[in-house]
Chains A and B, each alone.
Chain A
Amino acid sequence: MSESGVTKVFTLGAAAGLVGVLATGFAAGWERFWVNWILWILYVLTVGLGSFFLVVLEHVVGAKWSVPLRRVPERLSSLILPMGPALLLALLALPVLYPWTRPGSHDNPIIAGKAVWLNVPFFVARVAACIGLWLLAYRILVSGSIRQDREADVRFNVRARRVAPVFMVVFGVTITIVAFDWIAGLEPTWYSDVFGVYIFAGTFLAGLAATTLAVLYLFARGKLPGIRPDHIYNLGGFLFAFTVFWAYIGFAQYLLMWYANMPEEVFWYKERLQGLWGILVLVLAVVHFLVPFLVLIPRDAKTEPKRLVWVAVFILLAHWLDLYWMLFPVLGSGPVFSWPELSFAMFFTFASLLWLRRMMARGAAMPIKDPFLREGLEFRL
């Protein structure tokens, strides 16, 4: 299919999705609309943030192997940009979905105790602060990197190395805020200290899977000259490690709550293990952990593009399922999946792909003026 043909298909898909998205609010209720909306902005945001984390990680540790690949996660992290306004729009969901905004919610002593954190002005301020910090870091690290293609200024590397560790801390705090505010906040009486780490694990894995997928796509089309299986192996190794990390954190949270069996903690799992949700979480464990883990065990699997593509696709689907399993039980029914969910999936997937196609045109295919590019290309296992 020609380039413009692909664009046309994507545009049509996004437009068809948009019709369904708008119809959802009126025909299926605003609760369903907003829960879908929050799921999908979190999905796109976590893919963008996870990719961005990979970029930041490279600057923090001074990794050389990933320099030739860096442009891919840099472009993927541009997904953060449109999610800023989308998050602000999602503030409209507060009175619909978030029980702590309702009058009388403070009669509950647990919610009353959290009132310092869970109040609308502070919530809005946090959302704004998170977006602002992400955009600032994006400007310094990603826009700076693309500008380096033209200006060949090595001072960018020095600056990035200084800023990246600071942003690492900011990232840890903001991703925890996202997890606590947007997901855990749906059930404000719930407690979990490790929840931020769990969301981080999913975020990084999603960013990594998207990066791997994009790298393999470009690699297969010869757009990344000089990239060797050694580079691909590192991505595969990362995926392997972090599927285990995700499972470890997810299970740690569950195990502690299951053991302690405290009513204010365990109800969250009770809702999510009953009926079809219980089957869904088994599926989640299989697609998010078991399959990627077993497939990636052999050394060859981490370099073989065909298998890696499948693993990456699996993880990206599993990340959706993970968010779905966390968010949708607040609707108070069993798992629902029909045209509203499909429309949202179509709209956000195609719109993101369209956005990425535009972003892929920015800068060279590799950070050509990065002083470490040569060293990165010479990387051997």
Chain B
Amino acid sequence: MREPVFSVLGIFDSSQQLLDAIPAVKARVSGRLDAYTPYPIHGIDAALGLRKSPIGGMVFVMGLIGAISAVAFELWSEGVDYPLVTGGKPIFSWQAFVPIMFEVTVLFACFTAGLGMLFLLNRLPFFRHPMLHSKSMPLITRDKFALAVEADGKAIDIDVDAIAAALREAGAQTIEVLEQPAPLGLLSPNFLMRVVLGIGITCFVAGYLTYWGVKLFPVTIPIVHMLDQPRLDPEREDSFFKDGFGMRMPVAGTVPMAELPFTITKQEDAAILANPLPRTESVLKKGQKNFNTYCSVCHGALGNGVPSLTAAYGAKPANLASDSIRQLPDGEIYYVIMRGKNAMPSYAADLSEDERWSVVNYVRVLQRALNAKDSDIPQEAQK
């Protein structure tokens, strides 16, 4: 029994001879016609009756899919999943979507054109194409033109003699019969493609399962999302230091930034402190805000010692509008804020230097307001 035949080659001297031979051969034999030439020949597609390449349609469809998926993703991410106003533009700003849509369209189209041509239409990887074993190969890549009648894969029984006769009659100089190559076994392109595809699918499935596994069963978390770090949390025990405290006291001699240390220890000595702030509206507003936040709870919003906290709290807060306090210099009031007095704690940590002085100024306003005289009313209003 003869070896299975892959194709019968007729070798021609010129492209014109090849073109002329095609219809003659086509009329006499059945089987797939193909031409092997050193350079592209005009009109050979039509002569061989090759179908129009579907690559254009594929590119169009994939480009359209690219455009639609880009717009859909942008609409979803920008408008639905995480609506974020950017640059004061509306959430659905189609103008901003266009460049990305354009790029994704081009990306899909290019990949389809390149990869589709290589893998779908040219069926790469195609190891050991039978033509590569042809004795005519050196000629065909130089100055000869081959017309091949190929067995169409399944129908291996082609009438070699009839085809050879037809090719010779059509003007072929040489005839060559190419045998069907032996199966490639493990190296077959199909097998390799399946392996690559299998690895890809495995990676995809494994990644997907890991993601959801981690998300749904936190016990098995391999990634701890930065929760578990070697660090000191405030006001927590820690075995690192001998005394067992996580937080440390400042080193002796530490001074706060932007403030000088307050060294006065007696209220009377503070009388020499000069109030650095003018009594402008902005200063008084600041004083009012801080007074209402920190002081009014005990001293009352008017500073008259009638607090919102009532007798439930034992100590009696001072009436800031009383004569004795009105006669205190600014520095002494400042001293009380710094150091506290009787049951009142220090507010040094809560208020900055400026804020303390602004509170002093505001206290002066309250004192005046609670001790108003007739002469304070404008002359016109008195009439």
Contact = CB atoms under 8 A, between A and B. Distances in A.
Interface of A: 251, 254-255, 258-259, 261, 297-299, 380-381
B95 A255 contact: yes
Nearest to A297: B60
A297 B87 CA distance: 37
B42 A298 contact: no
A259 B88 contact: no
Nearest to A260: B87
A261 B88 contact: yes
Contacts of B96: 255, 259
A298 B56 CA distance: 8
Contacts of A298: 56
Given A259-B87, A261-B88, A254 B56 contact: no
Contacts of B87: 259, 261
Given A259-B96, A298-B56, A381-B42, 12 more contacts: A251-B98, A254-B95, A255-B96, A255-B98, A259-B87, A259-B95, A261-B87, A261-B88, A297-B56, A297-B60, A299-B56, A380-B42
Nearest to B95: A258
15 contacts: A251-B98, A254-B95, A255-B95, A255-B96, A255-B99, A258-B95, A259-B87, A259-B95, A261-B87, A261-B88, A297-B56, A297-B60, A298-B56, A299-B56, A381-B42
A77 to B, nearest CB: 32
Nearest to B53: A299
Nearest to B88: A261
Nearest to A381: B42
> Which 7 A-B pairs have CB atoms at the shortest separation, nearest pair first?
A380-B42, A258-B95, A255-B95, A297-B60, A251-B98, A299-B56, A255-B98
B65 to A, nearest CB: 15
A248 to B, nearest CB: 8
Contacts of B60: 297
Interface of A (DSSP majority class): loop
A259 B42 CA distance: 50
Contacts of A261: 87-88
A317 to B, nearest CB: 25
Nearest to A258: B95
B66 to A, nearest CB: 15
Contacts of B98: 251, 255
A381 B40 CA distance: 11
A254 B99 CA distance: 12
Nearest to A298: B56
A372 to B, nearest CB: 19
Nearest to B86: A259
Contacts of A258: 95
A380 B40 CA distance: 12
A259 B97 CA distance: 12
Contacts of B88: 261
Nearest to B42: A380
Interface string B35-59: 0000000100000000000001000
Interface in B59-92: 60, 87-88
A298 B98 CA distance: 24
B94 to A, nearest CB: 10
Interface in B329-354: none
A176 to B, nearest CB: 25
B45 to A, nearest CB: 11
Contacts of B99: 255
B273 to A, nearest CB: 53
B42 to A, nearest CB: 5
Contacts of B42: 380-381
Interface in B231-265: none
A261 B86 CA distance: 13
Nearest to A257: B95
B63 to A, nearest CB: 10
A136 B88 CA distance: 51
A298 B95 CA distance: 28
Interface string B2-46: 000000000000000000000000000000000000000010000
Contacts of A380: 42
Contacts of B95: 254-255, 258-259
B139 to A, nearest CB: 26
B117 to A, nearest CB: 16
Contacts of A251: 98
Nearest to B87: A259
Contacts of B56: 297-299
